[in-house]
Structure formats: C-alpha cells, structure tokens
Amino acid sequence: MLRKHITFCCRSAILLRPILPLGKINYATSTTTILKNMEAVKTMKDLGYVFNTEGQLRKIGPDGKPSEEPFQFNISDQHQECQAHYEELGNAITEYIYHLLETKVNLVRLPVPEGSTPETGTFVFATKDYDKKDVLLVLINGSGAVRAGQWARSLIINESLEQGTQIPYVEQAIAKGYGVMILNTNDNYQADGKKIPHSSSAEEHARYVWETYISKAEASSIVIVAHSYGGVVTVTLADQMKKEFEQRVKAIAFTDSVHAFSPIKMPKFMKEITRNWISSSAPLDTPMKTPEFDCPRVSAGHPKHEMSSCSCIDSAFKFIEEKLSNK
C-alpha cells in the first residue's frame, strides 16, 4: 500500500544536495571531460565510483575506467558508516546531475526566492525560453532526498541514470517544442539549518515558483508530470490557484501519486484532465480500479513505485498530446 511520506533533507545534516541524469549521453565522457565543475566528479572518484557509457554507476577499475562491479552499500560492518558513504555518494551524484541539466539539456537556474544566493536560497531549472513557449511542462518529484532532476536516487545508484532521472522527460518535451520547468520542492533548508524563505516546504516552494515564474509565462497550455508526493503538491496548487489551473492546465500525468492521502478533494475539472499511472504488474495502461473521488488509474507497467515514471513515459506523453489536441 502506498504511504504518504513527508521527509525533508536538512542541509545542516547533509551539506551537499542529492540529484540525477539521462539517455543517449556518453556518461563516461561527460563525467571526465565535459563537467566544468569537477568537484562532484572528484568526490565520486574519491569514493571509487564513476558512470559508464550506459549511465550505470560502476566501481573504478585498476585502469581508472569503469569496471563491471556495481555499487556496494556494505563497505564495512558498521551500518552508520555504510549509510554515510551512501549519502555522500548521493550528494556527489546530485551535483553531477545539476550540471548535466545545464550542459546537456541547456537548462538554467532560476533563484528561489528571487534575489537569493546559493547560501540563502534554492533554485529551479527551466529551459531558457520557458516563458515564451505555448506549452509549458512542469515536473514535480516526490519527497525525501531527491532534488530537481531526480525521480529516484536509488534507481540512479542501483540501476541507471536514465531510469532514475527526469532528463528523458526534458528531452521529449524539448523535442515537442515545449518549455520546461523543474521544481526543487525538497530543498528547504539553508546550510545553517534555517528554513529557506518561500521554500520551507514542498507546497510553499511550488506556490512561490508558480506565482513568480509559471504564472507569468506566456504559455496558454500548462501540463504537469508529478511523481508520488508530487501529486499532493499538485492537488494543493490546484486548490490554491483554482481559476488559473482551470484555465491554463490542460493535462496532468501522475506517476504513482499519493494524492489520495491529501485532505484536499480533487475538483471535477481536474479529474477530466488527469491520469495516474500506478505501480502494478499488469500491462502498461491497463485500467485499474478507481475510487469515484479520484482521477482514472491505469497500470504503469511495473510493480515498483520508484519505476513508475520511467516505465510510463511514452504513455504519459501520448496522454498529454491527446489532451492538448482537445484544448
């Protein structure tokens, strides 16, 4: 059973920040020669890991190249030491993916709040012309350690970058001529432990970004893809921005969203433009039992919660295109 989980990663405990990458990239080349910010790469190498050309995390071999050995959580018989190693690696990956968002899909950082510095605030990512496009795609991840660009940190570490990141969604959206905005809902604390203004929670972050950036964009059609707790964030936004949501939001693709746990009731107009791909062993897009109060549920084509965004990407975009054609 899906559970509502609200956990935010405080930078006073973890000073770096977690995130992930994409498809059709030579990850090994990107990691070693393209990154301008080499600190993340050095950190990963210091930990003994690098990405191979398939975007899989592998231990560095004696020749300095990726070996066939995958990530190993148990580096000692002390669980705390193993967990600290995992978190440190996750933070290095976060910075690497931030950089890929900027260099591989040419996204830019927009400060949250406006005028803030890296020490006092956070940021979201967007295509440079996001505010000029007729269609704007907004990506919202779940809760926990994930940051902008990630669906699931465990997937990036244990499977591949393409499976665990939002970059495949960014690529498809750009190919279709959409603008893109990636929220960073879990970056809520400054390094000293103080809450970031206008980003102290996922919901506050989303509302600020909507009012400051999304609302002012020229897009006549806004579409949203939200995973897990991102569904709660989306339903909350819809409740806060009722009129604008009804006028401008044309399609919402949830991936194993837990919005059903939200006390906010989904309005009728939202049910008509929303579909939730839930984790299931049934074939992709198989209709699933749906409560009357909810939007239609279909199978994501995979039984694992964290795999839902990756497994249903083509169906999600097909759904979005259908809704846009009916606007």
Give the three-state DSSP class for 138: strand
- Contact status, residue 146 vs residue 152, Cβ threshold 8 Å: yes
**Which residues, 6 or more positions from 8, have their beta carbon under 8 angstroms from its beta carbon?**
143, 144, 186, 188, 189, 201, 202
Burial-class residue 265 by CB neighbours within 10 Å (0-12, 13-18, 19+): exposed
Give the three-state DSSP class for 317: helix
- pLDDT average, residue stretch 52-63: 92
Residue 105 has pLDDT above 70, yes or no: yes
Angstrom distance (rounded) from CA 233 to CA 139: 11
3-state secondary structure 201-252: CHHHHHHHHHHHHHCCCCCCEEEEEEECCHHHHHHHHHHHCHHHHHHHEEEE
pTM here? 0.86
- Write out pLDDT tens, residues 271-303: 999 999 999 999 999 999 999 999 999 999 999
Task: Look at residue 256 in the predicted model and tell me its pLDDT.
Answer: 98
Q: Which of 30, 199, 221, 228 is catalytic?
A: 228
- Write out pLDDT tens, residues 207-259: 999 999 999 999 999 999 999 999 999 999 999 999 999 999 999 999 999 99
Q: How far is CA 35 from the centre of its chain?
A: 21
Active site annotation includes 228: yes
| 138 band by pLDDT with thresholds 50, 70 and 90 | very high
Task: Look at residue 13 in the predicted model and tell me its pLDDT.
Answer: 30
**Which residues, 6 or more positions from 325, have their beta carbon under 8 angstroms from its beta carbon?**
none
Task: Look at residue 40 in the predicted model and tell me its pLDDT.
Answer: 53
- Mind listing the domains of the chain with CATH numbers? 107-325 (3.40.50.1820)
| 8 band by pLDDT with thresholds 50, 70 and 90 | very low
Percent of the chain with pLDDT over 70: 87
User: Hunting for tokens 């300095």 — which residue is that?
Assistant: 64
- Write out pLDDT tens, residues 152-198: 999 999 999 999 999 999 999 999 999 999 999 999 999 899 999 99
